[in-house]
A and B are shown apart, each in its own frame.
Chain A
Amino acid sequence: MRYCRCAIRWLSMIALCTMVMTAQAVIETYEFSDANLERRYHRLSDELRCPKCQNQTIADSNAPIAKDLRFLLHEQLESGASDDDILSFMVARYGEFVRYRPGLDSNTALLWYGPLLLTLVALLALAMHLRGRQSAVSPVEPTEKEREALRARLGESNGGQDSQL
């Protein structure tokens, strides 16, 4: 009997939790005249960034502005606009910022070529490091002249120590 009551309490708690979750997931659905349009809708809404909540796409976000942009996107797709038309419409209003794949210009060049640049720098550093190690490891026999100089220096330092003692 006690076990049963406990189970009911748990079940009702779980039910409550699921209710809260469904209440939060209210993103509107649109009807498309063509499956192709729907595919483009999903692709574009995944590429457009929500201006208000900057780390989300408009497909992810519940912000009112994201909802407006989804509405607009649907409207434009249905009216036959091309992907380029839609993206340039959005960029004209919200700037390159609104695209997760911004076009290439002086502001975004570092964004596009930065990784390539870093890779080049890393390769260069690696090459320099390897070369340095090679020359350090390779045994080079001292010439007779160098041996002579070394011997002289050793003798000199011994002599120096002796004189200090």
Chain B
Amino acid sequence: MPRLKLFLPLAAFVLLSLLLFKGLSLDPTSLPSALVGKPLPDFELEELHSGEILSRQRIIGEPMLVNIWATWCYSCRVEHPYLLELAAQGVQIIGLNYKDDSVKAVGWLKDLGDPYALTLADSEGRLGLDMGVYGAPETYVVDAQGVVQYRHVGVVDAQVWQSLLVAWFPEFRREGVSQ
């Protein structure tokens, strides 16, 4: 028994190392969304291009990604080509133009291509606030019933799509989307 006691510091060290090692692989900036499992909040916002007033009821109906973006957001430019690819495969993507200038936003989509089935112009950031958005880009998975299933903070790329998002889009799972 006293022999075993000598190993206590080693055991404590190993435990602490494991704990700290685990801590290294965690991303402290990724927060669980409070919205997961809850319906997408209601809203009334203009469509960026047509100016038509859209509501929650109007956009839900099939599984989709809701992508929060803005022209002031550098990472949005990084993920943009991949969103175009996803849209080309037939993934329904709704854009939420967050705290942005509508003229600039239209120009951006004209220059870089438009992956969005519809784009909501949230220049005040009100819907963003109701969704708990704290930066751009963020991407939400919303199911056919309009319930938020997942939130990804940061750039969406092939790896994120394959490992985190595609689970909610079974029809795209097998073929996959090429890099």
Contact = CB atoms under 8 A, between A and B. Distances in A.
A51 B31 contact: yes
Contacts of A52: 134-135
Interface stretch (A14-22, A92-100, A152-160): A92-100
Contacts of A54: 28-29
B4 to A, nearest CB: 15
Contacts of A97: 31-32
Interface in B12-64: 28-29, 31-35
Interface string B91-111: 000000001000000000000
Interface stretch (A33-41, A64-72, A115-123): A64-72
Contact of B131 (A65, A91, A93): A93
A81 B29 CA distance: 30
A93 B99 contact: no
Nearest to A64: B99
Looking at chain B's contact residues, is the secondary structure mostly helix, strand, loop, or mixed? loop
Interface in A41-79: 51-52, 54, 64-65, 68, 72
Contact of A95 (B32, B99, B125): B32
B129 interface: yes
Interface string A82-94: 0000000001111
23 contacts: A51-B31, A51-B132, A51-B134, A52-B135, A54-B28, A54-B29, A64-B99, A65-B134, A65-B135, A68-B129, A72-B129, A91-B34, A92-B34, A93-B130, A93-B132, A94-B34, A94-B132, A94-B134, A95-B31, A95-B32, A95-B34, A95-B132, A97-B31
Interface residues of B, number: 15
A162 B151 CA distance: 82
Interface string B116-132: 00000000010001111
A54 B33 CA distance: 15
Given A52-B134, A65-B134, A65-B135, A93 B125 contact: no
A97 B31 CA distance: 8
Nearest to A91: B34
B3 to A, nearest CB: 16
A68 B127 CA distance: 12
B134 A95 contact: no
